[in-house]
Amino acid sequence: MGHCGTITIKEEVAVKKYICIGVFIMSSMSHALQLTSPAFGNNDSIPAKYTCDGENISPELNWSGAPENTKSFALIVDDPDAPAKVWVHWIVCNIPSDIMQLKENVPTSAFIAGSTDFHNTQYGGPCPPSGSHRYQFTLYALDSMLQVEQGVNKEALLAAMQGHILAQAVLLGRYQRTKK
């Protein structure tokens, strides 16, 4: 007879540890923070309506799966394909945890709006100088409301979020201007 059913205490503890890790990973995956938009899918083209070629208004954004102890959300929209640097298009933070949507063309006066590379605190839609660019809509679930002021820049916001990020989700949109 073989020893198929016999394991040492040490092996049993290791097996239980891996089972617990697996269950945690699976439960985390089912409740992962997700960011979506009815205006465009992940890695799809952003409609011209939300760009400098259209109405230049913010698209509707929806999210789900925030960790239980989330106290606020922060959103950063940027263009990593901009020629000189990562171009910041929109910053909104201290969105209360009971809000799971930013409606199209949402006024951000109820939240902290950060400074963009357009030198204002308003949404600035995609407007690539050439070619197709990617636009990252990154949502952060945070364990607190942040102690930041209106007009906070991206670097200061990221510094304030250090140690407070519970989860993040990215919605990637693309845009290429058409010649008129």
- The range of the structural domain enclosing residue 93 comes to 32-176
pLDDT above 90 covers a percentage of the chain that reads 79
DSSP state letters, 148-173: --TT--HHHHHHHHTTTEEEEEEEEE
What are the residues facing 88 on neighbouring strands?
78
Number of domains present in the structure of the chain: 1
pLDDT of residue 141: 98
pLDDT tens per residue across span 120-156: 999 999 999 999 999 999 999 999 999 999 999 999 9
Judge whether 26 lies within some domain. no
| Paired tokens of 150 | 């209106």
Q: Is residue 24 part of a domain?
A: no
The 3-state DSSP class for residue 87 equals strand
pLDDT tens string 12-53: 544 444 444 443 443 444 469 999 999 999 999 999 999 999
pLDDT at 178: 84
CATH code, domain with 97? 3.90.280.10
pLDDT digits (tens, 9 = 90+) for 67-105: 999 999 999 999 999 999 999 999 999 999 999 999 999
